[in-house]
Amino acid sequence: MEFKLKIWRQANSREKGKMVDYEVKDISPDTSFLEMLDQLNESLVLRGESPISFDHDCREGICGQCSLFINGRAHGPLDQTSTCQLHMRSFSEGETIYVEPFRAAAFPIRKDLSVDRKALDKIISSGGYISVSTGQAPEANQTRISSEAVEQAFDAASCIGCGACVASCKNSSAALFTAAKISHLYQLPQGKMEHKKRIETMVETMDALGFGACSNTGACEVECPQGISIAHIALMNREFWK
């Protein structure tokens, strides 16, 4: 397959960027989107040009490192699919594909398609944990937890921290990310003890880092590669005001 690419190139966060045209040929339909970019970078290096910088790690859809806006959608045209799990068979032969970085005030561009998402780490470090002594893990079956609570906690904990919710939101809100981290600990007895402090510090940290407010548009749930529900945002807001 052959494709025309329009890719955002930017040297650093201080300089202006622009869309640059590229063409790729002989791309297998079974090639992943990131592998296609790898092939493009190989050709750029052979021509003596600077390769395109983009974030990636596990390429298995679980680490949350890949962060591309493809044809105007976070992670591309497929629902509940991260960029690394997107394959070129999802595009038409000869199609023009627009590739941009995640854009948000809290996600400054480092270079090209690579963005700095350490703001999400700061939200986690402010309260997304439980205080427990290590080396003394109790028998798991001694803690009675209902199946419903387990399922709700696991649904929230499936967040991979990619930031697609932030990039998709017109307000650049991190409400879904923060709510997922708060909710999965709130559902379990281990997280109940520090819940009040956790929800206050995490929401205040989110606001302080420059993320926008949630206006219940729901774009975050639509674009989330894990399909996390905005019901967790409702839980976070309810518990925060309590």
SS3 212: strand
Distance CA 193, CA 202 (A): 15
What H or E segment, with its residue span, contains residue 19? strand 18-24
pLDDT in tens, 125-173: 999 999 887 777 777 788 889 999 999 999 999 999 999 999 999 999 9
Q: In what order do the strands lie in the sheet with 73-74?
A: 18-24, 3-9, 96-101, 68-70, 73-74
Q: What does DSSP say about strands 3-9 and 96-101: parallel, antiparallel, or unpaired?
A: parallel
Per-residue pLDDT of the chain (242 residues; tens, 9 = 90+): 999 999 999 999 899 999 999 999 999 999 999 999 999 999 999 999 999 999 999 999 999 999 899 999 999 999 999 999 999 999 999 999 999 999 999 999 999 999 999 999 999 999 999 988 777 777 778 888 999 999 999 999 999 999 999 999 999 999 999 999 999 999 999 899 999 999 999 999 999 999 999 999 999 999 999 999 999 999 999 999 99
Distance CA 66, CA 241 (A): 34
* The pLDDT of residue 109: 95
Beta strands per DSSP E along 89-212: 96-101, 109-111, 114-115
* The pLDDT of residue 139: 79
Domain spans, the chain: 3-44+51-111, 118-241
Class of domain 118-241: mainly alpha
Same fold, 3-44+51-111 and 118-241: no
Domain spanning 3-44+51-111: CATH superfamily: Beta-grasp domain (3.10.20.30)
> Distance between alpha carbon 228 and the CA centroid of its chain, in Å?
12
